[in-house]
Structure 1
Amino acid sequence: MEALYLLCSIASTCVTTSLLSLLLPFQTLASFLSRFFSSSNEGRGEEISYYQGHVRHVRRRPVHHAFDYDVRYALVDLDRNSASLPASFFRCHVSAQEARHITGTTGPVLLLTIPPSVGYEQNPLSVYYCYDAEGSTMHLKKCIAEVTNTPWGERVLFVFNPDSDLVAKPLHVSPFMDMLGNWTMRANAPGEDLFIAISVQHPTLGNYFTATLKAKRVRSSSWTLRPALFFWLMPQKVAVWIYWQALKLWWKNVSFLKHPKYVSPLYKEEALTRDRKLQCSRTVAKSDNSHLCFDNDQNHEMNTSTGDRWCVWKDAQWPWS
Protein backbone atom coordinates (compact mmCIF):
# COMPACT_ATOMS: atom_id res chain seq x y z
CA MET A 1 0.00 0.00 0.00
CA GLU A 2 2.86 2.40 0.84
CA ALA A 3 4.48 1.68 -2.55
CA LEU A 4 1.22 2.41 -4.40
CA TYR A 5 0.72 5.62 -2.43
CA LEU A 6 4.28 6.67 -3.24
CA LEU A 7 3.87 6.06 -6.98
CA CYS A 8 0.59 7.99 -7.05
CA SER A 9 2.20 10.81 -5.09
CA ILE A 10 5.13 11.07 -7.48
CA ALA A 11 2.91 11.02 -10.58
CA SER A 12 0.45 13.57 -9.21
CA THR A 13 3.20 15.86 -7.94
CA CYS A 14 5.01 15.88 -11.30
CA VAL A 15 1.82 16.85 -13.14
CA THR A 16 0.62 19.52 -10.70
CA THR A 17 4.12 20.98 -10.25
CA SER A 18 4.60 21.37 -14.00
CA LEU A 19 1.20 22.95 -14.61
CA LEU A 20 1.28 25.34 -11.66
CA SER A 21 4.88 26.37 -12.37
CA LEU A 22 3.72 27.64 -15.75
CA LEU A 23 1.18 29.84 -13.97
CA LEU A 24 3.62 31.07 -11.33
CA PRO A 25 4.84 34.21 -13.19
CA PHE A 26 1.26 35.42 -13.65
CA GLN A 27 0.36 34.71 -10.01
CA THR A 28 3.49 36.52 -8.81
CA LEU A 29 2.73 39.56 -10.95
CA ALA A 30 -0.87 39.68 -9.71
CA SER A 31 0.29 39.42 -6.09
CA PHE A 32 2.84 42.20 -6.57
CA LEU A 33 0.29 44.54 -8.17
CA SER A 34 -2.20 43.82 -5.41
CA ARG A 35 0.33 44.73 -2.71
CA PHE A 36 1.64 47.71 -4.65
CA PHE A 37 -1.78 49.36 -4.83
CA SER A 38 -2.80 48.37 -1.31
CA SER A 39 -1.87 50.36 1.79
CA SER A 40 -3.31 47.89 4.30
CA ASN A 41 0.14 46.56 5.24
CA GLU A 42 1.71 49.94 5.99
CA GLY A 43 3.05 50.31 9.52
CA ARG A 44 2.83 46.60 10.26
CA GLY A 45 5.66 44.31 11.28
CA GLU A 46 6.86 41.40 9.24
CA GLU A 47 4.33 38.60 8.85
CA ILE A 48 6.94 36.23 7.41
CA SER A 49 10.68 36.06 8.02
CA TYR A 50 12.87 34.14 5.59
CA TYR A 51 15.68 31.78 6.59
CA GLN A 52 18.24 29.97 4.50
CA GLY A 53 20.66 27.34 5.74
CA HIS A 54 21.28 23.63 5.70
CA VAL A 55 20.08 20.40 7.27
CA ARG A 56 22.58 17.71 8.25
CA HIS A 57 21.88 14.07 9.18
CA VAL A 58 24.50 11.74 10.66
CA ARG A 59 23.84 8.04 11.32
CA ARG A 60 26.59 6.17 13.16
CA ARG A 61 25.13 2.66 13.47
CA PRO A 62 24.63 0.01 12.18
CA VAL A 63 26.40 1.71 9.24
CA HIS A 64 27.81 5.20 8.91
CA HIS A 65 25.71 7.43 6.70
CA ALA A 66 25.79 11.23 6.57
CA PHE A 67 24.47 13.92 4.26
CA ASP A 68 23.47 17.57 4.24
CA TYR A 69 21.46 19.78 1.91
CA ASP A 70 20.52 23.42 1.56
CA VAL A 71 17.06 24.39 2.73
CA ARG A 72 14.82 27.44 2.98
CA TYR A 73 12.30 28.02 5.76
CA ALA A 74 9.61 30.56 6.61
CA LEU A 75 8.99 31.87 10.12
CA VAL A 76 5.32 32.83 10.12
CA ASP A 77 3.62 35.08 12.67
CA LEU A 78 0.42 33.12 13.28
CA ASP A 79 -1.37 36.10 14.82
CA ARG A 80 -1.34 37.72 11.38
CA ASN A 81 -2.48 35.45 8.59
CA SER A 82 -0.32 36.54 5.70
CA ALA A 83 -2.17 37.12 2.45
CA SER A 84 0.85 35.73 0.59
CA LEU A 85 0.09 32.23 1.91
CA PRO A 86 -3.01 30.24 0.89
CA ALA A 87 -5.86 29.96 3.38
CA SER A 88 -5.48 26.16 3.29
CA PHE A 89 -2.02 26.57 4.82
CA PHE A 90 -3.46 28.02 8.04
CA ARG A 91 -6.26 25.45 8.18
CA CYS A 92 -3.70 22.63 8.13
CA HIS A 93 -1.72 23.93 11.09
CA VAL A 94 -2.38 24.84 14.72
CA SER A 95 -3.59 28.41 15.20
CA ALA A 96 -1.87 30.91 17.49
CA GLN A 97 -4.70 30.73 20.01
CA GLU A 98 -4.64 26.92 20.06
CA ALA A 99 -0.86 26.93 20.55
CA ARG A 100 -1.14 29.36 23.48
CA HIS A 101 -3.82 27.17 25.06
CA ILE A 102 -1.69 24.04 24.65
CA THR A 103 1.49 25.56 26.08
CA GLY A 104 -0.04 27.91 28.65
CA THR A 105 1.70 30.92 27.14
CA THR A 106 0.43 34.45 26.52
CA GLY A 107 2.77 35.93 23.92
CA PRO A 108 3.34 35.63 20.18
CA VAL A 109 3.37 32.29 18.36
CA LEU A 110 5.73 31.82 15.40
CA LEU A 111 5.67 28.81 13.07
CA LEU A 112 8.85 27.59 11.37
CA THR A 113 7.89 25.63 8.28
CA ILE A 114 8.35 25.21 4.53
CA PRO A 115 5.27 26.71 2.83
CA PRO A 116 3.59 24.81 -0.01
CA SER A 117 5.02 25.41 -3.47
CA VAL A 118 3.08 25.02 -6.73
CA GLY A 119 0.52 22.73 -5.14
CA TYR A 120 2.80 20.60 -2.96
CA GLU A 121 3.79 20.64 0.73
CA GLN A 122 6.42 18.48 2.40
CA ASN A 123 7.41 19.17 6.00
CA PRO A 124 9.12 16.41 7.99
CA LEU A 125 9.31 18.87 10.91
CA SER A 126 7.61 22.16 11.66
CA VAL A 127 8.13 23.98 14.96
CA TYR A 128 5.84 26.41 16.82
CA TYR A 129 7.71 28.90 19.04
CA CYS A 130 5.49 30.02 21.93
CA TYR A 131 6.55 33.12 23.88
CA ASP A 132 5.69 34.60 27.26
CA ALA A 133 5.97 38.26 28.20
CA GLU A 134 8.53 39.10 30.89
CA GLY A 135 8.20 42.82 31.48
CA SER A 136 8.85 44.53 28.18
CA THR A 137 10.64 41.52 26.66
CA MET A 138 9.43 38.26 25.19
CA HIS A 139 10.85 34.97 26.42
CA LEU A 140 10.64 31.70 24.49
CA LYS A 141 8.92 29.37 26.94
CA LYS A 142 7.76 26.31 25.01
CA CYS A 143 7.88 24.78 21.55
CA ILE A 144 5.47 22.46 19.77
CA ALA A 145 6.98 19.98 17.32
CA GLU A 146 4.82 18.97 14.36
CA VAL A 147 6.32 15.82 12.84
CA THR A 148 4.91 14.37 9.62
CA ASN A 149 5.99 11.06 8.11
CA THR A 150 5.95 10.02 4.48
CA PRO A 151 4.47 8.16 2.69
CA TRP A 152 2.13 7.14 5.52
CA GLY A 153 0.40 10.51 5.86
CA GLU A 154 0.52 10.63 9.67
CA ARG A 155 1.32 13.53 11.97
CA VAL A 156 2.12 13.91 15.65
CA LEU A 157 2.30 17.12 17.68
CA PHE A 158 3.93 17.38 21.10
CA VAL A 159 5.29 20.04 23.44
CA PHE A 160 8.98 20.21 24.28
CA ASN A 161 11.25 22.49 26.29
CA PRO A 162 13.47 24.41 23.83
CA ASP A 163 16.43 24.59 26.26
CA SER A 164 16.72 20.79 26.21
CA ASP A 165 14.21 17.97 26.38
CA LEU A 166 14.00 14.19 26.12
CA VAL A 167 10.98 12.75 24.30
CA ALA A 168 10.00 9.13 23.74
CA LYS A 169 9.75 8.61 19.97
CA PRO A 170 6.02 8.91 19.13
CA LEU A 171 5.93 8.35 15.34
CA HIS A 172 7.29 5.95 12.73
CA VAL A 173 9.27 8.49 10.73
CA SER A 174 11.80 6.29 8.93
CA PRO A 175 11.47 2.63 7.85
CA PHE A 176 15.11 2.23 8.91
CA MET A 177 14.50 3.08 12.59
CA ASP A 178 12.44 1.23 15.19
CA MET A 179 10.24 2.88 17.82
CA LEU A 180 12.52 2.27 20.81
CA GLY A 181 14.61 5.41 20.57
CA ASN A 182 14.19 8.63 22.54
CA TRP A 183 14.63 12.06 20.96
CA THR A 184 16.86 14.66 22.60
CA MET A 185 15.63 18.02 21.30
CA ARG A 186 16.98 21.55 21.53
CA ALA A 187 16.09 24.82 19.77
CA ASN A 188 17.10 28.47 20.14
CA ALA A 189 14.83 31.49 19.92
CA PRO A 190 14.86 32.51 16.23
CA GLY A 191 16.74 35.72 15.55
CA GLU A 192 19.44 36.40 13.01
CA ASP A 193 20.46 32.76 13.48
CA LEU A 194 18.27 29.70 13.90
CA PHE A 195 19.26 26.31 15.29
CA ILE A 196 17.44 23.01 15.95
CA ALA A 197 19.10 19.75 16.99
CA ILE A 198 17.58 16.30 17.43
CA SER A 199 19.55 13.22 18.43
CA VAL A 200 18.29 9.67 18.90
CA GLN A 201 19.17 7.71 22.04
CA HIS A 202 18.56 3.99 21.56
CA PRO A 203 18.66 1.26 24.24
CA THR A 204 21.05 -0.91 22.17
CA LEU A 205 22.52 1.42 19.52
CA GLY A 206 23.22 4.29 21.90
CA ASN A 207 23.34 7.86 20.59
CA TYR A 208 23.44 6.76 16.97
CA PHE A 209 21.67 9.49 14.98
CA THR A 210 21.75 13.30 14.92
CA ALA A 211 19.84 15.79 12.78
CA THR A 212 20.53 19.52 12.84
CA LEU A 213 19.12 22.60 11.14
CA LYS A 214 21.28 25.74 11.00
CA ALA A 215 19.98 28.79 9.16
CA LYS A 216 20.44 32.55 8.90
CA ARG A 217 17.80 35.16 8.36
CA VAL A 218 17.59 36.55 4.83
CA ARG A 219 17.02 40.29 4.73
CA SER A 220 15.77 41.97 1.57
CA SER A 221 13.31 44.68 0.65
CA SER A 222 12.98 43.34 -2.88
CA TRP A 223 9.45 42.50 -3.99
CA THR A 224 10.89 39.30 -5.48
CA LEU A 225 11.37 37.87 -1.99
CA ARG A 226 7.90 36.35 -1.93
CA PRO A 227 7.00 32.82 -0.75
CA ALA A 228 6.01 31.68 -4.24
CA LEU A 229 9.46 32.54 -5.60
CA PHE A 230 11.68 32.03 -2.55
CA PHE A 231 10.30 28.53 -1.88
CA TRP A 232 9.78 27.42 -5.47
CA LEU A 233 10.23 23.60 -5.58
CA MET A 234 11.60 23.57 -2.01
CA PRO A 235 9.08 20.95 -0.76
CA GLN A 236 9.68 18.85 -3.86
CA LYS A 237 13.44 18.92 -3.24
CA VAL A 238 12.92 17.78 0.36
CA ALA A 239 10.84 14.84 -0.87
CA VAL A 240 13.51 13.87 -3.41
CA TRP A 241 16.22 13.99 -0.71
CA ILE A 242 14.12 11.82 1.63
CA TYR A 243 13.58 9.05 -0.92
CA TRP A 244 17.10 9.24 -2.33
CA GLN A 245 18.70 8.82 1.11
CA ALA A 246 16.27 5.99 1.88
CA LEU A 247 17.42 4.24 -1.30
CA LYS A 248 21.06 4.66 -0.27
CA LEU A 249 20.37 3.17 3.18
CA TRP A 250 18.62 0.23 1.56
CA TRP A 251 21.64 -0.22 -0.72
CA LYS A 252 23.86 -0.35 2.40
CA ASN A 253 21.73 -3.28 3.69
CA VAL A 254 20.17 -1.41 6.61
CA SER A 255 17.15 -3.41 7.77
CA PHE A 256 13.79 -2.24 6.41
CA LEU A 257 11.15 -2.15 9.16
CA LYS A 258 7.38 -2.35 8.76
CA HIS A 259 5.15 0.34 10.20
CA PRO A 260 4.57 -0.53 13.89
CA LYS A 261 0.79 -0.52 13.37
CA TYR A 262 1.19 -3.87 11.60
CA VAL A 263 3.06 -5.31 14.58
CA SER A 264 1.53 -3.55 17.59
CA PRO A 265 -1.73 -1.61 17.09
CA LEU A 266 -1.16 -0.03 20.51
CA TYR A 267 2.17 1.57 19.56
CA LYS A 268 0.84 5.07 20.30
CA GLU A 269 -0.18 4.12 23.83
CA GLU A 270 3.18 2.42 24.28
CA ALA A 271 4.94 5.63 23.22
CA LEU A 272 2.92 7.62 25.77
CA THR A 273 3.82 5.15 28.50
CA ARG A 274 7.52 5.34 27.64
CA ASP A 275 7.39 9.13 27.62
CA ARG A 276 5.57 9.18 30.95
CA LYS A 277 8.29 7.03 32.47
CA LEU A 278 10.94 9.36 31.04
CA GLN A 279 9.26 12.38 32.62
CA CYS A 280 8.84 10.57 35.92
CA SER A 281 12.47 9.48 36.04
CA ARG A 282 13.64 13.03 35.33
CA THR A 283 11.31 14.40 38.04
CA VAL A 284 12.54 11.86 40.58
CA ALA A 285 16.15 12.64 39.65
CA LYS A 286 15.54 16.26 40.70
CA SER A 287 13.60 15.42 43.85
CA ASP A 288 13.68 13.01 46.77
CA ASN A 289 9.91 12.54 46.48
CA SER A 290 9.90 9.28 44.56
CA HIS A 291 6.12 9.04 44.94
CA LEU A 292 5.87 11.68 42.22
CA CYS A 293 6.45 8.94 39.67
CA PHE A 294 3.20 7.24 38.74
CA ASP A 295 1.51 5.62 35.78
CA ASN A 296 -2.00 6.29 34.52
CA ASP A 297 -2.72 4.25 31.41
CA GLN A 298 -6.19 5.77 31.07
CA ASN A 299 -4.83 9.23 30.31
CA HIS A 300 -3.89 9.07 26.64
CA GLU A 301 -3.80 12.84 26.13
CA MET A 302 -1.20 13.97 28.60
CA ASN A 303 -1.93 16.41 31.38
CA THR A 304 0.97 18.80 31.98
CA SER A 305 -0.17 19.49 35.55
CA THR A 306 0.89 15.92 36.49
CA GLY A 307 4.19 16.11 34.63
CA ASP A 308 2.86 14.38 31.51
CA ARG A 309 3.46 15.76 28.05
CA TRP A 310 0.74 17.05 25.72
CA CYS A 311 0.88 14.83 22.65
CA VAL A 312 -1.70 14.13 19.94
CA TRP A 313 -1.80 12.25 16.64
CA LYS A 314 -3.76 13.21 13.57
CA ASP A 315 -3.87 12.49 9.86
CA ALA A 316 -1.75 14.81 7.74
CA GLN A 317 -3.19 16.51 4.69
CA TRP A 318 -2.33 15.16 1.26
CA PRO A 319 1.11 16.46 0.19
CA TRP A 320 -0.48 18.13 -2.82
CA SER A 321 -3.23 20.69 -2.24
Structure 2
Amino acid sequence: MTPPPLPAIVDAEIVHARTTPVRHSFTYRSTTWLVDVDDLPRPPRALRPFARFLADDHFPEPATPGATLRDRLNAHLRGAGVDPPTGRVTALLSPRVAGYVFNPISVFWCHDADGALAYVVAEVHNTYGQRHCYVVRTDERGDARVGKEFYVSPFNPVDGTYRLRLPEPGRHTVFVSVTLERPGQRPFVATLRGRVRPATAGAVLATQLRTPLAPAVVAARIRRHGIALWLRRLPVVARPEHTQQTTIALEEKIR
Protein backbone atom coordinates (compact mmCIF):
# COMPACT_ATOMS: atom_id res chain seq x y z
CA MET A 1 0.00 0.00 0.00
CA THR A 2 1.35 3.42 -0.96
CA PRO A 3 1.65 5.64 2.13
CA PRO A 4 0.24 9.15 2.06
CA PRO A 5 2.52 12.19 1.87
CA LEU A 6 2.94 13.68 5.33
CA PRO A 7 1.71 15.73 7.02
CA ALA A 8 -1.87 15.15 5.96
CA ILE A 9 -5.31 16.16 7.18
CA VAL A 10 -7.91 13.43 7.57
CA ASP A 11 -11.57 14.31 7.07
CA ALA A 12 -13.14 11.60 9.21
CA GLU A 13 -16.50 10.01 9.83
CA ILE A 14 -16.63 8.52 13.33
CA VAL A 15 -19.25 6.01 14.50
CA HIS A 16 -19.91 4.85 18.07
CA ALA A 17 -22.37 1.98 18.48
CA ARG A 18 -23.44 0.42 21.79
CA THR A 19 -25.55 -2.75 21.62
CA THR A 20 -26.06 -3.80 25.25
CA PRO A 21 -27.57 -3.34 27.79
CA VAL A 22 -29.21 -0.58 25.72
CA ARG A 23 -28.82 0.25 22.06
CA HIS A 24 -27.36 3.65 21.38
CA SER A 25 -25.31 4.91 18.45
CA PHE A 26 -24.21 8.16 16.88
CA THR A 27 -22.19 9.30 13.89
CA TYR A 28 -20.32 12.55 13.44
CA ARG A 29 -17.75 14.20 11.24
CA SER A 30 -14.45 15.45 12.61
CA THR A 31 -10.87 16.14 11.58
CA THR A 32 -7.60 14.56 12.61
CA TRP A 33 -4.05 14.44 11.19
CA LEU A 34 -1.45 12.00 9.93
CA VAL A 35 2.08 13.09 10.85
CA ASP A 36 5.66 11.90 10.99
CA VAL A 37 6.65 12.03 14.68
CA ASP A 38 10.12 13.28 13.70
CA ASP A 39 8.72 16.18 11.67
CA LEU A 40 5.63 17.58 13.35
CA PRO A 41 3.75 20.21 11.32
CA ARG A 42 4.32 23.90 11.93
CA PRO A 43 1.61 25.83 10.07
CA PRO A 44 2.11 29.51 9.30
CA ARG A 45 2.01 31.65 12.45
CA ALA A 46 -1.50 32.96 11.73
CA LEU A 47 -2.84 29.39 11.57
CA ARG A 48 -1.00 27.87 14.54
CA PRO A 49 -3.90 28.44 16.96
CA PHE A 50 -5.83 25.97 14.78
CA ALA A 51 -3.16 23.25 14.65
CA ARG A 52 -0.51 23.14 17.35
CA PHE A 53 1.33 19.88 18.04
CA LEU A 54 2.91 19.39 21.49
CA ALA A 55 4.92 16.31 22.46
CA ASP A 56 3.68 16.57 26.06
CA ASP A 57 0.12 15.86 24.91
CA HIS A 58 1.11 12.21 24.45
CA PHE A 59 2.27 9.41 26.74
CA PRO A 60 2.04 9.49 30.54
CA GLU A 61 5.58 10.64 31.35
CA PRO A 62 5.91 14.04 33.04
CA ALA A 63 6.71 17.03 30.87
CA THR A 64 10.38 17.04 29.90
CA PRO A 65 11.81 20.32 28.58
CA GLY A 66 12.91 19.88 24.98
CA ALA A 67 11.65 16.30 24.64
CA THR A 68 10.31 15.47 21.20
CA LEU A 69 7.36 13.23 20.49
CA ARG A 70 9.82 10.51 19.41
CA ASP A 71 11.65 10.96 22.75
CA ARG A 72 8.44 10.51 24.72
CA LEU A 73 7.36 7.49 22.67
CA ASN A 74 10.77 5.85 23.12
CA ALA A 75 10.91 6.59 26.85
CA HIS A 76 7.45 5.16 27.40
CA LEU A 77 8.22 2.00 25.45
CA ARG A 78 11.53 1.45 27.24
CA GLY A 79 9.75 1.86 30.58
CA ALA A 80 7.31 -0.86 29.52
CA GLY A 81 10.11 -3.21 28.46
CA VAL A 82 9.66 -2.76 24.69
CA ASP A 83 12.54 -1.89 22.34
CA PRO A 84 11.77 1.44 20.66
CA PRO A 85 11.28 1.49 16.89
CA THR A 86 14.37 2.07 14.78
CA GLY A 87 12.55 3.41 11.73
CA ARG A 88 9.78 5.77 10.72
CA VAL A 89 6.78 6.33 12.99
CA THR A 90 3.54 7.57 11.45
CA ALA A 91 0.91 8.87 13.85
CA LEU A 92 -2.82 9.51 13.60
CA LEU A 93 -3.62 12.21 16.15
CA SER A 94 -5.35 15.51 16.76
CA PRO A 95 -3.51 18.79 17.41
CA ARG A 96 -4.40 21.48 19.88
CA VAL A 97 -7.04 23.81 18.48
CA ALA A 98 -7.51 27.14 20.27
CA GLY A 99 -5.33 25.75 23.05
CA TYR A 100 -7.43 22.63 23.67
CA VAL A 101 -6.67 19.02 22.77
CA PHE A 102 -8.57 15.76 23.20
CA ASN A 103 -7.40 12.56 21.53
CA PRO A 104 -9.80 9.69 22.35
CA ILE A 105 -7.38 7.44 20.46
CA SER A 106 -4.03 8.17 18.83
CA VAL A 107 -2.36 5.49 16.71
CA PHE A 108 1.40 5.17 16.14
CA TRP A 109 2.58 2.82 13.38
CA CYS A 110 6.16 1.97 14.37
CA HIS A 111 8.59 0.65 11.75
CA ASP A 112 11.97 -1.03 11.76
CA ALA A 113 14.97 0.53 10.05
CA ASP A 114 14.24 -1.57 6.95
CA GLY A 115 10.72 -0.09 6.68
CA ALA A 116 8.80 -3.13 7.96
CA LEU A 117 6.02 -2.51 10.47
CA ALA A 118 7.29 -3.63 13.89
CA TYR A 119 4.19 -2.96 16.02
CA VAL A 120 1.43 -0.44 16.60
CA VAL A 121 0.84 1.70 19.68
CA ALA A 122 -2.75 2.74 20.35
CA GLU A 123 -2.86 5.47 22.99
CA VAL A 124 -6.30 5.92 24.55
CA HIS A 125 -7.40 9.01 26.50
CA ASN A 126 -10.54 9.12 28.61
CA THR A 127 -12.49 12.21 29.61
CA TYR A 128 -10.97 12.07 33.13
CA GLY A 129 -7.54 13.13 31.87
CA GLN A 130 -6.03 9.64 32.04
CA ARG A 131 -4.08 7.80 29.31
CA HIS A 132 -3.26 4.19 28.53
CA CYS A 133 -1.17 2.61 25.77
CA TYR A 134 -1.85 -0.71 24.03
CA VAL A 135 1.22 -2.03 22.20
CA VAL A 136 0.17 -4.67 19.67
CA ARG A 137 1.52 -6.59 16.72
CA THR A 138 -1.00 -6.65 13.89
CA ASP A 139 -1.53 -9.34 11.26
CA GLU A 140 -1.54 -8.87 7.49
CA ARG A 141 -5.02 -7.28 7.67
CA GLY A 142 -4.00 -4.90 10.44
CA ASP A 143 -5.90 -6.81 13.13
CA ALA A 144 -4.86 -7.45 16.74
CA ARG A 145 -6.44 -8.55 20.01
CA VAL A 146 -5.67 -7.23 23.47
CA GLY A 147 -7.36 -7.38 26.87
CA LYS A 148 -9.20 -4.24 27.94
CA GLU A 149 -7.35 -2.75 30.92
CA PHE A 150 -8.41 0.89 30.94
CA TYR A 151 -11.54 2.65 32.16
CA VAL A 152 -12.95 4.63 29.25
CA SER A 153 -16.73 4.76 29.70
CA PRO A 154 -18.58 4.98 33.04
CA PHE A 155 -21.05 2.47 31.57
CA ASN A 156 -18.55 -0.29 30.72
CA PRO A 157 -16.52 -2.25 33.27
CA VAL A 158 -12.83 -2.86 32.68
CA ASP A 159 -13.05 -6.37 31.28
CA GLY A 160 -13.36 -8.14 27.95
CA THR A 161 -11.12 -8.06 24.90
CA TYR A 162 -10.54 -5.42 22.28
CA ARG A 163 -10.39 -6.49 18.65
CA LEU A 164 -8.42 -3.72 17.00
CA ARG A 165 -8.26 -3.09 13.28
CA LEU A 166 -5.32 -0.80 12.61
CA PRO A 167 -4.17 -1.18 9.00
CA GLU A 168 -1.51 1.27 7.89
CA PRO A 169 -2.92 4.40 6.25
CA GLY A 170 -3.22 4.34 2.49
CA ARG A 171 -2.46 7.18 0.16
CA HIS A 172 -6.06 8.37 0.17
CA THR A 173 -7.85 6.66 3.05
CA VAL A 174 -7.55 5.76 6.74
CA PHE A 175 -9.59 3.20 8.66
CA VAL A 176 -9.41 2.33 12.37
CA SER A 177 -11.87 0.31 14.43
CA VAL A 178 -12.15 -0.87 18.04
CA THR A 179 -14.58 -3.63 18.98
CA LEU A 180 -15.13 -4.63 22.60
CA GLU A 181 -15.81 -8.36 22.87
CA ARG A 182 -17.21 -10.36 25.77
CA PRO A 183 -18.45 -13.96 25.72
CA GLY A 184 -21.39 -14.10 23.32
CA GLN A 185 -21.59 -10.34 22.72
CA ARG A 186 -19.94 -7.27 21.26
CA PRO A 187 -21.29 -4.46 23.43
CA PHE A 188 -19.38 -1.60 21.80
CA VAL A 189 -17.87 -0.75 18.40
CA ALA A 190 -16.14 2.47 17.35
CA THR A 191 -14.85 3.19 13.85
CA LEU A 192 -13.00 6.02 12.16
CA ARG A 193 -13.04 6.19 8.39
CA GLY A 194 -11.30 9.12 6.75
CA ARG A 195 -10.20 10.74 3.51
CA VAL A 196 -6.60 11.98 3.38
CA ARG A 197 -5.57 15.29 1.83
CA PRO A 198 -2.35 17.35 1.92
CA ALA A 199 -2.04 19.65 4.94
CA THR A 200 -1.70 22.92 3.05
CA ALA A 201 -2.39 26.29 4.67
CA GLY A 202 -5.65 26.45 2.74
CA ALA A 203 -6.65 23.01 3.99
CA VAL A 204 -6.00 24.03 7.62
CA LEU A 205 -8.24 27.07 7.20
CA ALA A 206 -10.92 25.07 5.39
CA THR A 207 -10.89 22.51 8.20
CA GLN A 208 -11.89 25.19 10.70
CA LEU A 209 -14.79 26.18 8.50
CA ARG A 210 -15.92 22.57 8.04
CA THR A 211 -15.29 21.19 11.56
CA PRO A 212 -14.50 24.15 13.81
CA LEU A 213 -12.81 23.53 17.19
CA ALA A 214 -12.87 19.77 16.53
CA PRO A 215 -11.20 18.51 19.77
CA ALA A 216 -13.53 20.50 22.03
CA VAL A 217 -16.57 19.48 20.00
CA VAL A 218 -15.61 15.79 20.19
CA ALA A 219 -15.16 15.95 23.98
CA ALA A 220 -18.47 17.78 24.42
CA ARG A 221 -20.27 15.30 22.18
CA ILE A 222 -18.97 12.31 24.16
CA ARG A 223 -20.11 13.88 27.43
CA ARG A 224 -23.51 14.76 25.97
CA HIS A 225 -24.14 11.19 24.89
CA GLY A 226 -22.93 9.98 28.29
CA ILE A 227 -25.58 12.15 29.94
CA ALA A 228 -28.18 10.71 27.57
CA LEU A 229 -27.23 7.17 28.62
CA TRP A 230 -27.34 8.15 32.29
CA LEU A 231 -30.83 9.58 31.81
CA ARG A 232 -31.85 6.19 30.39
CA ARG A 233 -30.76 4.75 33.77
CA LEU A 234 -27.83 2.80 32.43
CA PRO A 235 -25.86 1.61 35.49
CA VAL A 236 -22.69 3.58 36.23
CA VAL A 237 -19.51 1.58 36.88
CA ALA A 238 -17.15 2.99 39.51
CA ARG A 239 -13.82 4.15 38.12
CA PRO A 240 -10.96 1.97 39.44
CA GLU A 241 -7.52 3.23 40.32
CA HIS A 242 -5.37 3.41 37.20
CA THR A 243 -1.87 2.18 38.06
CA GLN A 244 -0.72 0.25 35.00
CA GLN A 245 -0.38 2.55 32.00
CA THR A 246 0.69 0.12 29.27
CA THR A 247 -0.67 -3.19 27.96
CA ILE A 248 1.66 -5.21 25.75
CA ALA A 249 0.26 -7.83 23.38
CA LEU A 250 3.04 -8.53 20.92
CA GLU A 251 2.43 -12.29 20.80
CA GLU A 252 -1.38 -12.35 20.62
CA LYS A 253 -2.88 -14.41 17.80
CA ILE A 254 -5.99 -13.34 15.91
CA ARG A 255 -8.72 -15.95 16.01
Which of 33, 56, 60 is equivalent to 1:91? 56
* Higher share in helix: 1
What secondary structure does 1:224 align onto? Answer: helix
Task: Sort the Cα spacing of 1:112 and 1:88 in 2 relative to 1 into closer, same or farther, 3 A.
Answer: closer
The question of whether the paired residues in 1 share the 8 Å contact of 2:7 and 2:199 is answered with no
Alignment check: 8 A CA contact 2:167 2:176 kept: yes
TM-score, normalising length from structure 2? 0.76
Q: Which residue number in structure 1 is paired with residue 62 of structure 2?
A: none
Correspondence for 1:226 = 204
Supply the distance in 1 between the matched residues of 2:29 and 2:39 (Cα, whole angstroms): 28
In the TM superposition, residue 47 of structure 1 has moved relative to its aligned partner by 4.6
In the other structure, the counterpart of 2:93 is 113
> What's the counterpart of residue 188 of structure 2?
209
> In 1, distance between residues paired with 2:234 and 2:89?
39
Displacement of 1:97 in angstroms is: 5.1
Indicate whether 1:160 and 2:119 are aligned. no
Secondary structure of 2:203's partner?
Answer: coil
Amino acid at match of 1:96: R
Looking at secondary structure, tell me which structure has more strand per residue. Answer: 2
Q: Which secondary structure state, in structure 2, belongs to the residue aligned with residue 246 of structure 1?
A: helix
Structure number with greater CO (CA < 8 Å, separation at least 6) is 2
1:183: which partner in 2? Answer: 162
Contact 1:111 1:129 in 2 (8 A): yes
Q: Deviations over 1:21-58 (max 9, x none)?
A: xxxxxxxxxxxxxxxxxxxxxxxx95521111211111
- Structure 1 distance, partners of 2:83, 2:29, is 31
Larger Rg: 1
Render the CA deviation track for 1:136-177: whole Å, top value 9, x for unaligned. xx3333111111111x21111221123222211121111010
Q: CA 1:234 to 1:250, structure 2 compared with 1: closer, same or farther past 3 Å?
A: same
Answer whether contact 2:137 2:250 (CA < 8 A) is retained: no
Unaligned stretches of 5+ residues in structure 1: 1-44, 262-266, 287-321
Normalised by the size of structure 1, how large is the TM-score?
A: 0.61
Aligned partner of residue 179 in structure 1, secondary structure? coil
For the aligned residue pairs, the C-alpha RMSD in angstroms reads: 3.1
In structure 2, relative to structure 1, the CA distance for the partners of 1:154 and 1:127 (3 Å cut) is same
Which structure 2 residue ranges, 5 or more long, are not aligned? 60-68
Question: Which residue of the partner structure matches residue 126 of structure 2?
Answer: 149
Aligned-residue identity in percent = 27
Q: Deviations over 1:73-132 (max 9, x none)?
A: 111111113323687612333623554664543221112111111011111111111123
CA distance in 1, matches of 2:250, 2:73: 21
